[in-house]
Amino acid sequence: MDAETRAGSDDHGAIRLWLRLLATERLVETRSRRLLLERFGTTLPRFDLMAQLGRFPKGLRMSELSKRMMVTGGNVTGITDLLEREGLVERAADPDDRRAWLVRLTRAGRRAFAAMAAEHERWIVDAFAPLTAREMAAMAALLARLKTHVRSLEGQDA
């Protein structure tokens, strides 16, 4: 097989893998979205924000939420507004920087999140059930390399 043909099939492999990765991710995400709505009347971004706060009882700044959730600051403002309106989250002044807020779960927010997190974990475990621990580890390792590489690409031409 010559170089051109080989390159050609490699390319196809990358595209096909990317489309499959995308489809699988979207399938799991759509399922989570639907279950969150049906079971808890909430949405994935709201759950995601609460999940971040769940790991930081002292609260997180908007900018930290933005980084962790991989979305823009304006988006975090909007989702926080909604959760605050629902009484699940509260903004507190950051004593170290008056520009910033510390967002944290309220008592009701902690209760609601605990229930959701337990079920959500079960959904994910169920979704990944066909893979063995070894296969999961292998896939995680490949994804780690991919992630690092794409991040380095972003550094170059972002």
Partner DNA sequence: CGCAAATATTTGACAGTTAAATAATTGATG
Partner DNA sequence: CATCAATTATTTAACTGTCAAATATTTGCG
User: Do 43 and 27 meet the contact criterion of CB atoms below 8 Å apart?
Assistant: no
Q: Which residues bind DNA (CB under 7 A)?
A: 30, 33-34, 37, 43-46, 61-64, 66, 70-82, 91, 94, 97-101
Residues 6+ apart with CB under 8 A from 103: 53, 59, 60, 61, 62, 65, 80, 89, 90, 91, 92
User: Do 115 and 40 meet the contact criterion of CB atoms below 8 Å apart?
Assistant: yes
**Scanning residues 17 to 46, which ones bind a second copy (CB under 8 A)?**
17-18, 20-31, 34
133 binds a second copy (CB under 8 A): yes
Residue (76 or 105) nearer to DNA, CB: 76
Give the one entry of a second copy, DNA, none that residue 80 binds, where binding means its C-beta sits below a cut-off of 5 to 8 angstroms depending on kind.
DNA
Give the one entry of DNA, a second copy, none that residue 139 binds, where binding means its C-beta sits below a cut-off of 5 to 8 angstroms depending on kind.
a second copy
Which tokens go with 8? 């050609």
